Homo-oligomer: A and B are copies of this chain.
Amino acid sequence: MDLKNLLDVLIEKNRSLISQGHVATYIPELAKVDPKLLGTAIVDKEGKVYSSGDSKVYFAIESISKTVVLALALLDNGEEEVFKHVHKEPSGDPFNSIKKLETEEDHLPRNPYINPGAIMMTSLIKGKDPDDKFNRILNFMKRISEDDTLTLGTETYLSEKRTGDINRALAYYMKGQGVFSENVEETLDVYFRQCSINVTVETLAKIAGFFARGGVLTTGERVISQRQAQIVTGLIATCGMYDQSGEFLDNIGFPGKSGVGGGILCPLPSKEIGVAVFGPAIDKEGNSTGGMGILKDLSDKLNYDMF
Protein backbone atom coordinates (compact mmCIF):
# COMPACT_ATOMS: atom_id res chain seq x y z
CA MET A 1 0.00 0.00 0.00
CA ASP A 2 1.49 3.35 -0.95
CA LEU A 3 1.54 6.37 1.36
CA LYS A 4 -1.45 8.09 -0.24
CA ASN A 5 -3.58 4.99 0.12
CA LEU A 6 -2.44 4.54 3.70
CA LEU A 7 -3.54 8.08 4.57
CA ASP A 8 -6.92 7.53 2.88
CA VAL A 9 -7.43 4.40 4.94
CA LEU A 10 -6.45 6.11 8.19
CA ILE A 11 -8.77 9.03 7.57
CA GLU A 12 -11.73 6.68 7.17
CA LYS A 13 -10.69 4.45 10.06
CA ASN A 14 -10.44 7.35 12.51
CA ARG A 15 -13.41 9.42 11.38
CA SER A 16 -15.50 7.83 14.12
CA LEU A 17 -13.29 9.43 16.79
CA ILE A 18 -14.46 12.90 15.75
CA SER A 19 -17.61 12.58 17.83
CA GLN A 20 -15.51 12.11 20.98
CA GLY A 21 -14.26 15.72 20.76
CA HIS A 22 -15.67 19.23 20.49
CA VAL A 23 -14.49 22.39 18.78
CA ALA A 24 -12.78 24.91 21.03
CA THR A 25 -15.16 27.63 22.17
CA TYR A 26 -12.93 30.01 24.07
CA ILE A 27 -12.97 32.42 21.14
CA PRO A 28 -15.99 32.83 18.85
CA GLU A 29 -14.01 32.28 15.64
CA LEU A 30 -12.90 28.79 16.66
CA ALA A 31 -16.43 27.84 17.70
CA LYS A 32 -17.65 28.46 14.14
CA VAL A 33 -15.43 25.79 12.57
CA ASP A 34 -17.07 22.60 11.21
CA PRO A 35 -16.23 19.85 13.75
CA LYS A 36 -16.49 17.12 11.07
CA LEU A 37 -13.32 18.20 9.30
CA LEU A 38 -10.41 15.74 9.33
CA GLY A 39 -7.22 15.82 7.32
CA THR A 40 -3.66 14.56 7.32
CA ALA A 41 -0.48 15.06 5.33
CA ILE A 42 3.02 13.64 5.16
CA VAL A 43 6.11 15.17 3.55
CA ASP A 44 8.75 12.59 2.71
CA LYS A 45 12.52 12.94 2.79
CA GLU A 46 12.58 14.39 -0.72
CA GLY A 47 9.87 16.91 0.09
CA LYS A 48 7.04 15.14 -1.73
CA VAL A 49 3.66 15.84 -0.15
CA TYR A 50 1.01 13.15 0.45
CA SER A 51 -2.32 14.09 1.92
CA SER A 52 -5.86 12.91 2.50
CA GLY A 53 -9.16 14.20 3.86
CA ASP A 54 -9.69 17.91 4.36
CA SER A 55 -6.15 18.74 3.43
CA LYS A 56 -6.87 22.02 1.66
CA VAL A 57 -8.95 23.60 4.43
CA TYR A 58 -7.41 26.60 6.19
CA PHE A 59 -7.50 26.85 9.96
CA ALA A 60 -5.76 28.88 12.71
CA ILE A 61 -2.24 27.63 13.48
CA GLU A 62 -2.52 28.76 17.13
CA SER A 63 0.18 27.35 19.45
CA ILE A 64 1.96 25.50 16.67
CA SER A 65 3.26 28.94 15.61
CA LYS A 66 5.46 28.83 18.73
CA THR A 67 7.84 26.41 17.00
CA VAL A 68 8.27 28.71 14.01
CA VAL A 69 8.78 31.79 16.15
CA LEU A 70 11.37 29.98 18.28
CA ALA A 71 13.25 29.15 15.07
CA LEU A 72 13.15 32.79 13.95
CA ALA A 73 14.15 34.02 17.42
CA LEU A 74 17.17 31.70 17.25
CA LEU A 75 18.03 33.00 13.78
CA ASP A 76 17.62 36.64 14.88
CA ASN A 77 19.49 36.41 18.18
CA GLY A 78 21.57 33.24 18.33
CA GLU A 79 21.20 30.38 20.79
CA GLU A 80 23.13 31.97 23.62
CA GLU A 81 21.05 35.14 23.69
CA VAL A 82 17.72 33.32 23.37
CA PHE A 83 18.41 31.06 26.33
CA LYS A 84 19.20 34.01 28.55
CA HIS A 85 15.45 34.65 28.42
CA VAL A 86 13.93 31.18 28.65
CA HIS A 87 14.80 27.71 29.97
CA LYS A 88 14.55 24.37 28.17
CA GLU A 89 12.74 22.39 30.87
CA PRO A 90 9.30 20.82 30.93
CA SER A 91 7.25 22.87 33.38
CA GLY A 92 4.98 20.14 34.73
CA ASP A 93 2.17 22.71 34.57
CA PRO A 94 -0.56 23.72 32.07
CA PHE A 95 0.28 26.00 29.12
CA ASN A 96 -1.02 29.16 30.75
CA SER A 97 0.12 28.57 34.33
CA ILE A 98 1.62 31.63 36.03
CA LYS A 99 2.79 30.28 39.39
CA LYS A 100 6.29 29.16 38.37
CA LEU A 101 7.01 32.70 37.11
CA GLU A 102 6.67 33.69 40.76
CA THR A 103 8.25 30.71 42.50
CA GLU A 104 11.29 30.17 40.28
CA GLU A 105 14.09 32.34 41.53
CA ASP A 106 14.94 33.91 38.15
CA HIS A 107 11.27 34.43 37.16
CA LEU A 108 12.03 33.16 33.63
CA PRO A 109 9.64 30.88 31.71
CA ARG A 110 10.53 27.18 31.85
CA ASN A 111 10.45 26.65 28.06
CA PRO A 112 9.54 28.42 24.81
CA TYR A 113 6.29 26.48 24.24
CA ILE A 114 4.30 27.36 27.34
CA ASN A 115 2.60 30.71 26.85
CA PRO A 116 4.97 32.92 28.89
CA GLY A 117 7.95 31.42 27.06
CA ALA A 118 6.29 31.84 23.68
CA ILE A 119 5.43 35.48 24.41
CA MET A 120 9.06 35.98 25.45
CA MET A 121 10.20 34.52 22.11
CA THR A 122 7.88 36.85 20.22
CA SER A 123 9.45 39.76 22.11
CA LEU A 124 12.86 38.74 20.73
CA ILE A 125 11.83 38.95 17.07
CA LYS A 126 13.61 41.81 15.33
CA GLY A 127 11.60 44.54 13.63
CA LYS A 128 10.98 48.25 13.82
CA ASP A 129 7.38 47.97 14.98
CA PRO A 130 4.68 45.32 15.57
CA ASP A 131 3.66 45.27 11.88
CA ASP A 132 7.23 44.74 10.80
CA LYS A 133 7.76 42.00 13.38
CA PHE A 134 4.61 40.19 12.40
CA ASN A 135 5.44 40.43 8.70
CA ARG A 136 8.86 38.96 9.39
CA ILE A 137 7.20 36.03 11.18
CA LEU A 138 4.65 35.52 8.40
CA ASN A 139 7.32 35.66 5.71
CA PHE A 140 9.57 33.28 7.63
CA MET A 141 6.69 30.85 8.00
CA LYS A 142 5.94 31.11 4.27
CA ARG A 143 9.57 30.46 3.49
CA ILE A 144 10.14 27.38 5.64
CA SER A 145 6.78 25.89 4.63
CA GLU A 146 7.41 26.84 0.99
CA ASP A 147 3.77 27.92 1.02
CA ASP A 148 2.93 31.42 -0.23
CA THR A 149 -0.76 31.18 0.56
CA LEU A 150 -0.51 31.88 4.29
CA THR A 151 -2.52 34.87 5.52
CA LEU A 152 -3.61 36.43 8.78
CA GLY A 153 -7.04 35.34 10.01
CA THR A 154 -8.27 38.75 11.03
CA GLU A 155 -11.36 37.61 12.90
CA THR A 156 -9.37 35.07 14.91
CA TYR A 157 -6.78 37.72 15.71
CA LEU A 158 -9.40 40.16 16.94
CA SER A 159 -11.02 37.42 19.04
CA GLU A 160 -7.68 36.48 20.57
CA LYS A 161 -6.92 40.12 21.32
CA ARG A 162 -10.25 40.64 23.04
CA THR A 163 -9.96 37.58 25.24
CA GLY A 164 -6.24 37.33 25.89
CA ASP A 165 -6.24 38.50 29.50
CA ILE A 166 -4.32 35.54 30.93
CA ASN A 167 -1.62 36.21 28.33
CA ARG A 168 -1.60 39.86 29.39
CA ALA A 169 -1.16 38.73 32.99
CA LEU A 170 1.78 36.50 32.04
CA ALA A 171 3.53 39.27 30.11
CA TYR A 172 2.89 41.99 32.70
CA TYR A 173 4.09 39.67 35.44
CA MET A 174 7.40 39.09 33.63
CA LYS A 175 7.60 42.84 32.95
CA GLY A 176 6.99 43.60 36.61
CA GLN A 177 9.73 41.15 37.60
CA GLY A 178 12.13 42.98 35.32
CA VAL A 179 12.75 40.12 32.90
CA PHE A 180 10.71 41.37 29.93
CA SER A 181 12.05 44.42 28.18
CA GLU A 182 9.58 45.03 25.35
CA ASN A 183 6.23 46.80 25.38
CA VAL A 184 3.61 44.32 26.57
CA GLU A 185 0.62 45.31 24.44
CA GLU A 186 2.72 45.61 21.28
CA THR A 187 4.33 42.23 21.83
CA LEU A 188 0.97 40.60 22.51
CA ASP A 189 -0.39 42.20 19.37
CA VAL A 190 2.28 40.36 17.38
CA TYR A 191 1.68 37.20 19.43
CA PHE A 192 -2.06 37.19 18.82
CA ARG A 193 -1.44 37.66 15.10
CA GLN A 194 1.12 34.85 14.87
CA CYS A 195 -1.43 32.51 16.47
CA SER A 196 -4.06 33.58 13.93
CA ILE A 197 -2.18 32.70 10.74
CA ASN A 198 -4.30 30.43 8.54
CA VAL A 199 -2.60 27.23 7.41
CA THR A 200 -3.60 23.88 5.93
CA VAL A 201 -2.56 20.50 7.23
CA GLU A 202 -0.17 20.34 4.28
CA THR A 203 1.47 23.56 5.45
CA LEU A 204 2.06 22.00 8.85
CA ALA A 205 3.52 18.81 7.36
CA LYS A 206 5.88 20.94 5.27
CA ILE A 207 7.03 22.89 8.35
CA ALA A 208 7.47 19.57 10.19
CA GLY A 209 9.52 18.28 7.26
CA PHE A 210 11.69 21.40 7.31
CA PHE A 211 12.55 20.83 10.99
CA ALA A 212 12.98 17.05 10.47
CA ARG A 213 15.47 17.68 7.66
CA GLY A 214 17.48 19.84 10.04
CA GLY A 215 16.55 23.28 8.71
CA VAL A 216 16.94 22.78 4.97
CA LEU A 217 14.35 23.61 2.28
CA THR A 218 13.34 20.98 -0.29
CA THR A 219 15.56 22.94 -2.68
CA GLY A 220 18.53 22.09 -0.50
CA GLU A 221 18.88 25.66 0.70
CA ARG A 222 19.73 25.93 4.40
CA VAL A 223 17.62 28.48 6.35
CA ILE A 224 18.55 27.72 9.96
CA SER A 225 21.44 25.69 11.29
CA GLN A 226 21.18 21.97 12.08
CA ARG A 227 21.67 22.86 15.73
CA GLN A 228 18.80 25.38 15.66
CA ALA A 229 16.51 22.79 14.09
CA GLN A 230 17.52 20.29 16.78
CA ILE A 231 16.61 22.78 19.49
CA VAL A 232 13.16 23.34 18.01
CA THR A 233 12.50 19.61 17.59
CA GLY A 234 14.05 18.49 20.87
CA LEU A 235 11.86 20.94 22.77
CA ILE A 236 8.80 19.64 20.90
CA ALA A 237 9.66 16.19 22.30
CA THR A 238 9.93 17.29 25.91
CA CYS A 239 7.63 20.32 26.09
CA GLY A 240 5.39 20.26 23.01
CA MET A 241 2.27 19.02 24.76
CA TYR A 242 2.73 20.93 28.06
CA ASP A 243 1.86 18.70 31.02
CA GLN A 244 0.85 15.90 28.61
CA SER A 245 4.20 15.76 26.79
CA GLY A 246 5.37 12.54 28.42
CA GLU A 247 2.08 10.79 27.74
CA PHE A 248 2.09 11.91 24.07
CA LEU A 249 5.69 10.92 23.40
CA ASP A 250 5.11 7.56 25.06
CA ASN A 251 1.80 6.91 23.33
CA ILE A 252 2.64 8.12 19.81
CA GLY A 253 6.39 7.53 19.84
CA PHE A 254 7.46 10.72 18.12
CA PRO A 255 7.35 14.42 19.06
CA GLY A 256 4.27 16.55 18.45
CA LYS A 257 3.13 20.15 18.90
CA SER A 258 -0.60 20.77 18.92
CA GLY A 259 -2.71 23.89 18.52
CA VAL A 260 -6.18 24.58 19.84
CA GLY A 261 -7.34 25.07 16.25
CA GLY A 262 -7.04 21.29 15.82
CA GLY A 263 -3.67 20.92 14.13
CA ILE A 264 -0.75 18.78 15.30
CA LEU A 265 2.74 19.09 13.79
CA CYS A 266 5.18 16.17 14.08
CA PRO A 267 8.77 16.27 12.85
CA LEU A 268 10.31 12.76 12.60
CA PRO A 269 13.97 13.67 12.63
CA SER A 270 15.57 10.24 12.21
CA LYS A 271 13.49 9.59 9.08
CA GLU A 272 13.57 13.22 7.90
CA ILE A 273 9.85 13.24 7.29
CA GLY A 274 7.14 15.60 8.43
CA VAL A 275 3.69 14.52 9.54
CA ALA A 276 0.63 16.60 10.37
CA VAL A 277 -3.02 16.08 11.21
CA PHE A 278 -5.96 18.44 11.44
CA GLY A 279 -9.31 17.91 13.15
CA PRO A 280 -11.04 20.73 15.03
CA ALA A 281 -12.92 18.36 17.35
CA ILE A 282 -10.52 18.27 20.29
CA ASP A 283 -10.44 16.38 23.59
CA LYS A 284 -10.22 17.98 27.02
CA GLU A 285 -6.43 18.12 26.76
CA GLY A 286 -6.87 20.21 23.60
CA ASN A 287 -5.74 17.60 21.05
CA SER A 288 -7.66 16.60 17.92
CA THR A 289 -9.41 13.30 18.68
CA GLY A 290 -9.39 12.07 15.10
CA GLY A 291 -5.89 13.40 14.60
CA MET A 292 -4.52 11.52 17.60
CA GLY A 293 -6.03 8.31 16.24
CA ILE A 294 -4.33 8.85 12.89
CA LEU A 295 -0.96 9.59 14.53
CA LYS A 296 -1.17 6.45 16.67
CA ASP A 297 -1.95 4.32 13.60
CA LEU A 298 0.80 5.99 11.59
CA SER A 299 3.29 5.31 14.35
CA ASP A 300 2.38 1.61 14.22
CA LYS A 301 2.37 1.41 10.42
CA LEU A 302 5.68 3.20 10.08
CA ASN A 303 6.98 1.01 12.91
CA TYR A 304 8.30 4.24 14.31
CA ASP A 305 9.38 4.82 17.83
CA MET A 306 12.17 7.08 18.93
CA PHE A 307 13.04 4.72 21.77
Interface residues of A (CB under 8 A from B): 87-93, 97-103, 110-111, 164-173, 175-177, 184, 229-231, 233-235, 237-239, 243-247, 249-250, 253, 255, 267, 269-270, 305-307
A250 and B270 contact, CB distance less than 8 A: no
A93: chain B residues within 8 A (beta carbon): 92
B243 and A89 contact, CB distance less than 8 A: yes
A230 and B243 contact, CB distance less than 8 A: no
The 9 closest A-B pairs by CB, nearest first: A92-B92, A90-B90, A165-B176, A166-B176, A169-B173, A233-B307, A169-B172, A99-B99, A88-B246
User: Closest B-chain residue to A226, C-beta based?
Assistant: B305
B89 and A244 contact, CB distance less than 8 A: yes
A245: chain B residues within 8 A (beta carbon): 89-90, 238
C-alpha gap A270/B268 in the complex (Å): 12
* Nearest CB of chain B from residue A247's CB, rounded to whole Å: 5
C-alpha gap A116/B243 in the complex (Å): 18
A-B contact pairs, 24 of them (CB 8 A): A87-B247, A88-B246, A88-B247, A89-B247, A90-B90, A90-B238, A91-B92, A92-B100, A92-B110, A98-B173, A99-B99, A165-B172, A169-B175, A169-B176, A172-B172, A230-B253, A230-B305, A231-B250, A233-B307, A234-B249, A237-B237, A238-B245, A269-B305, A270-B270
B253 and A237 contact, CB distance less than 8 A: no
Q: Are A102 and B97 CB-contacts (below 8 A) given A177-B166, A246-B238, A307-B230?
A: yes
C-alpha gap A167/B229 in the complex (Å): 38
User: Closest B-chain residue to A247, C-beta based?
Assistant: B88
B238 and A269 contact, CB distance less than 8 A: no
A246 and B250 contact, CB distance less than 8 A: no
Pick from B176, B239, B243, B244: contact of A168, CB below 8 A. Answer: B176
A164: chain B residues within 8 A (beta carbon): 176
* Nearest CB of chain B from residue A110's CB, rounded to whole Å: 6
* Nearest CB of chain B from residue A26's CB, rounded to whole Å: 11
A168: chain B residues within 8 A (beta carbon): 168-169, 172, 175-176, 184
Extra 6 A-B pairs, beta carbons < 8 Å, given A90-B91, A165-B176, A234-B307 = A91-B92, A166-B173, A168-B184, A229-B307, A269-B306, A306-B306
* Nearest CB of chain B from residue A165's CB, rounded to whole Å: 3
